[in-house]
Amino acid sequence: MAKETLTEVITVADSDTSKTTVAPKERSIVGWIAENGIFVFTALLIVVALVFVDGFASWVNITDVFHRAAPIGIVAVGMTFVVISGNYLDLSVVAQVATSAVILIAVSNSYGIPLAMLAALLAAAVFGVVNGVAVGYFKANAVIVTLATTYIGLGLLRLFSGGSIFFGPQDGLIREFGLGKLGAVPYSAVVLVLMTLVLAFVLNRTNFGFLIRSFGVNESATRLGGTNTALVVIGAFLVTALAAMVAGWVLAAFSNTAVSAMSSGYDFRALAAIIVGGTSVFGGKGSVLRTLLGVIFVSVLTNILVLSGITFGYQQMALGVLIVAAVAIDALSRKAGKR
Amino acid sequence: MSSTNSIQIGQQETSFWGRLRLTLARRTEGRGVALLAVVLVVVAFTEPLVFTAYPVSLGRIALIGLVALGLTAVILMGELDLSVASTLALSGVVMAMIPDVALGVIAALAVGLVVGMINAFLVAIVGINSFIATLGMLFALRGLGFVLSNEAPVRMANTDAGIAFGLPLLGPLTPRVLIFIVAFIALQIFVSRVKAGREFFAVGGNRQAAYDAGIPVKRRIFTGFLISGFVASLAGAINTLERTAADPTAGSTVLLASFAAAIIGGNYLKGGRGSIVGTLIGATALGVLQVALTLTGVQVPVQQIFIGLILLLAVTTDPANLRAVLGSIRSVRQGRLKSQT
């Protein structure tokens, strides 16, 4: 509805100013890197890995990369919605993924898989709505809100699970899914690709996706256009929560175990993938497919570091610096564009 | 009474109650005071041990409060420093690695200043949003802490200094509490009496107006991040001295509590409004609450839930936020009425 009105306005505006020529977009090196760097860097990284890193080009290793990338990637493509809507990020995905994984294993052990999935869905909805209401209706800062819900969620999870590890049955649907492959590709990677395609469709082709993007560009204009912006924010956090839920299932199925600490670091790996992919933390600009590319970049980079025997501390440092550098490039390209 | 040479804005309050009401309306610490009152009353009835064992409570308040004080300086300008947790851990590790205690403390404080410098550079010069810039720094610095410590706690070489540091120095006050009191007084004077500190409010309230008025906005942002980095590293050094060992994962629980303290104390996250006193009140409430929960034997997850809920409550019940909510509800209702007629 709002989409049509806006298109009309643009058409009217276009017909009025059709004679004035639009100045060509100024080209800058930083701007080009911010726009296209990820394609070059990903290609370069893969070439470097294939040529210089021993053990990268084996099928076992590639499968391992897929398995590790899938849950983080699913979280990242979902969280892209929150980032594009201009609400920075959702730190609470750490708690969401762990909650979903623990619920899937623990509940399915005694009540069956459908009920477990339903329970996980309920938990995801609670997370999404609480985050969304606090940010959308109360206009609270998303970083602080999701920091708080992370600790509330993890606290509740540890309280109910007692911090213990849950094991799934040795043979069952979950195990089959976790180890199964479609051709040569693990199911988890298939889920990642499917999620990416579905979310890309939602973001690019539906009314809801249009509102997410326009909210990220200009919040007050979207509100004045007659949209209930609070609902848009809640929607963005719900998409993230649902993606985190699916990621939790994939993660639980792969290891057939679940524990409250299993998803630590997911917030920041997912953010790294999103930002490196070229989605702007200033909101409004970005895409789900770019995030998938960012996931590939971050996963391959991590894999290279692991294969080269570089310790966890250096990996953390590298990803932290990567986030700062990617955002810096984005910020500098914006500055260059304004001039 | 002639009113020719004075402009009367609003009604001049002359009665005592009127002036009191005006003073109270200008303060921002309301929610902090309310939380503190609730916590103190409940704790007095359920766990009076918190007050008899006041050195423990004071130490806790000092730890939360010290980090929260640094955060306040940044929040007043509408920025945020998420990297304080890692700064605390990293400076602690650096300090424990150096055998000489005095040299270690100096190195730790230098770490804090360097981190503050980098944060300020990213925010003021490069133009990155401070939430994201300091989040990246949070992870990068944690990684650096892991690298330096080989992913294990580092023991101090000189444990005697650490033990001496934990003893009461002035009456019942340990050096940690004394340092916190000094930092509190210094920062209070800085933001209320010193020009540079008062400019923090202007930068946070309206950056463009502050810039137009000739305030060196970028230099103030540097000042703010240097303060928060320095104070966080001070807390890291104190933590290491008290435990005679540095943990590279330290600070994650302090991060949550100190944010909650600063925000519930009335410091508006968008900047321009807040006070150091409010932070002290918030830190006192949260410190007492944490010690009470620990003493009553409540599990750690429940403590996390409590602090998380307080932070969520603090960030959603900000008066300015609530006004925005009421305004949007009103406008939606008016829109409905109009569409009906």
The full DSSP string for B24-35 is HHH---HHHHHH
pLDDT exceeds 50 at position A90: yes
Query: What does B279-324 look like in DSSP terms, one character per residue?
Result: HHHHHHHHHHHHHHHHHTT--HHHHHHHHHHHHHHHHH--HHHHHH
CB pair distance less than 8 Å for B308 and A151: yes
Mutating which of B87, B141, B313, B315 best tests the A interface, going by the most A Cβ atoms within 10 A? B315
Radius of gyration of chain A (CA): 21
Q: What is the DSSP letter of A165?
A: -
How far apart (Å, rounded) are the C-alpha atoms in residues B294 and B310? 17
B20 burial (CB, 10 Å; 0-12 / 13-18 / 19+) is: exposed
Q: Does A231 touch chain B (CB under 8 A)?
A: no
Q: For residue B72, which of B340, B303, B271 has the smallest C-alpha distance? A: B271
Task: Tally A–B CB contacts below 8 A.
Answer: 160
β-bridge pairing A257-258 and A166-167: antiparallel
CB pair distance less than 8 Å for A151 and B315: no
pLDDT at residue A9, rounded to an integer:
46
Q: What is the DSSP letter of B125?
A: I
Query: The tokens of B223 are what?
Result: 């000042």
Residues 233-272 of A with CB under 8 A from B: 268, 271
pLDDT at residue A338, rounded to an integer:
61
How far apart (Å, rounded) are the C-alpha atoms in residues A74 and B250? 30
Distance of CA A195 to the CA centre of its chain: 11
**Ramachandran class of B260: left when φ > 0, alpha when ψ lies in -120 to 50, beta otherwise:** alpha
CB pair distance less than 8 Å for B321 and A139: yes
Q: How many domains does chain A have?
A: 1
CB pair distance less than 8 Å for A319 and B143: yes
Residue A83 belongs to domain spanning: 60-338
pLDDT tens for A117-143 read 999 999 999 999 999 999 998 888 899
How far apart (Å, rounded) are the C-alpha atoms in residues B169 and A194? 64
CB pair distance less than 8 Å for B328 and A230: yes
How far apart (Å, rounded) are the C-alpha atoms in residues A270 and B52? 47
Closest in B263, B269, B312 to A134, CB measured: B312
CA distance to A53, B73, B117, B234, B245, per residue, from B110 (Å): 38, 19, 10, 10, 19
Residues of A in contact with B126 (CB under 8 A): 328, 331-332
Residues 89-128 of A with CB under 8 A from B: 89
Residues of B in contact with A88 (CB under 8 A): 129, 131-132
Residues of B in contact with A268 (CB under 8 A): 135, 139
Q: What is the CATH number of the domain that holds A265?
A: 1.10.3470
Query: The tokens of B237 are what?
Result: 């050094």
Query: What does A84-122 look like in DSSP terms, one character per residue?
Result: HTTS---TTHHHHHHHHHHHHHHHHHHH-HHHHHHHHHH
**Ramachandran class of A143: left when φ > 0, alpha when ψ lies in -120 to 50, beta otherwise:** alpha
Closest in B131, B138, B312 to A152, CB measured: B312
CB pair distance less than 8 Å for B129 and A268: no
ipTM entry = 0.86
Q: What is the DSSP letter of A257?
A: E
Q: What's the whole-number average pLDDT of chain A?
A: 86
CB pair distance less than 8 Å for B301 and A152: no
CB pair distance less than 8 Å for B140 and A158: no
Q: Does A316 touch chain B (CB under 8 A)?
A: yes
CA distance to B64, B133, B183, per residue, from B165 (Å): 18, 35, 17
Q: Helices in chain B by DSSP H: which ranges?
A: 16-26, 30-46, 49-52, 54-75, 84-97, 101-120, 130-149, 159-165, 175-193, 195-205, 207-212, 217-243, 252-264, 276-295, 300-316, 319-340
Of all residues in chain B, the one with the smallest CA distance to A160 is B301
CB pair distance less than 8 Å for B316 and A145: yes
Q: Which amino acid is at A237?
A: F
Q: Where are the domains of chain B?
A: 58-162+169-315
Query: The tokens of B9 are what?
Result: 């804005």
Strands (E), chain A: 166-167, 181-182, 185-186, 257-258
- Return all residues near A182 (Cβ < 8 A) that are at least 6 apart: A190
pLDDT at residue A21, rounded to an integer:
44
**Considering the domain boundaries, does residue A13 fall inside one?**
no
Residues of A in contact with B293 (CB under 8 A): none
- The answer to whether the CB of B67 falls within 8 A of the CB of B88 is yes
Cα atoms in the Cβ-side hemisphere of radius 13 Å centred on A296: 20
Residue B46: what are its φ and ψ, rounded to 5°?
-95, -35
- The answer to whether the CB of B302 falls within 8 A of the CB of B293 is yes
Q: For domain B58-162+169-315, give its CATH number from 1.10.3470, 3.20.20, 2.30.30, 3.40.50.
A: 1.10.3470
pLDDT at residue A13, rounded to an integer:
43
- The answer to whether the CB of B202 falls within 8 A of the CB of B210 is yes
pLDDT at residue B326, rounded to an integer:
76
Per the model's pLDDT, the better-predicted residue between A220 and B107 turns out to be: B107
CB pair distance less than 8 Å for B259 and A147: yes
Of all residues in chain B, the one with the smallest CA distance to A134 is B316
Closest in B147, B317, B325 to A137, CB measured: B325
β-bridge pairing B154-155 and B245-246: antiparallel
Closest in B122, B142, B148 to A328, CB measured: B122
How far apart (Å, rounded) are the C-alpha atoms in residues A73 and A243? 9
pLDDT tens for A28-79 read 777 777 777 788 888 899 998 888 888 888 888 888 888 889 999 999 999 9
Residue A26's CB is within 10 A of a number of other CB atoms, namely: 10
CA distance to A136, B97, B247, B338, per residue, from B157 (Å): 51, 8, 15, 75
Residues of B in contact with A147 (CB under 8 A): 255-256, 259, 311
**Considering the domain boundaries, does residue A5 fall inside one?**
no
Closest in B127, B142, B305 to A316, CB measured: B142
**Considering the domain boundaries, does residue A24 fall inside one?**
no
Helix or strand or coil: residue A332?
A: helix
Mutating which of B128, B218, B247 best tests the A interface, going by the most A Cβ atoms within 10 A? B128
**Considering the domain boundaries, does residue A299 fall inside one?**
yes
How far apart (Å, rounded) are the C-alpha atoms in residues B203 and B208? 8
Residues of B in contact with A151 (CB under 8 A): 256, 304-305, 307-308, 311
Closest in B136, B255, B263 to A327, CB measured: B136
A127 burial (CB, 10 Å; 0-12 / 13-18 / 19+) is: buried
Query: What does A301-322 look like in DSSP terms, one character per residue?
Result: HHHHHHHTT--HHHHHHHHHHH
Radius of gyration of chain B (CA): 22
- The answer to whether the CB of A199 falls within 8 A of the CB of A80 is yes
pLDDT tens for the 341 residues of chain B, in order: 444 555 555 566 678 888 887 777 778 788 888 899 999 999 888 888 888 888 888 888 998 999 999 999 999 999 999 999 999 999 999 999 988 888 999 999 999 999 999 999 999 999 888 988 999 999 899 999 999 988 888 888 777 777 777 777 777 788 889 999 999 999 999 998 999 989 999 999 888 999 999 999 999 999 999 999 999 999 999 988 888 888 888 777 788 899 999 999 888 888 888 889 999 999 999 999 999 998 888 888 898 899 999 999 988 887 766 776 777 677 767 766 666 65
pLDDT exceeds 60 at position A240: yes
Closest in B140, B269, B305 to A144, CB measured: B269
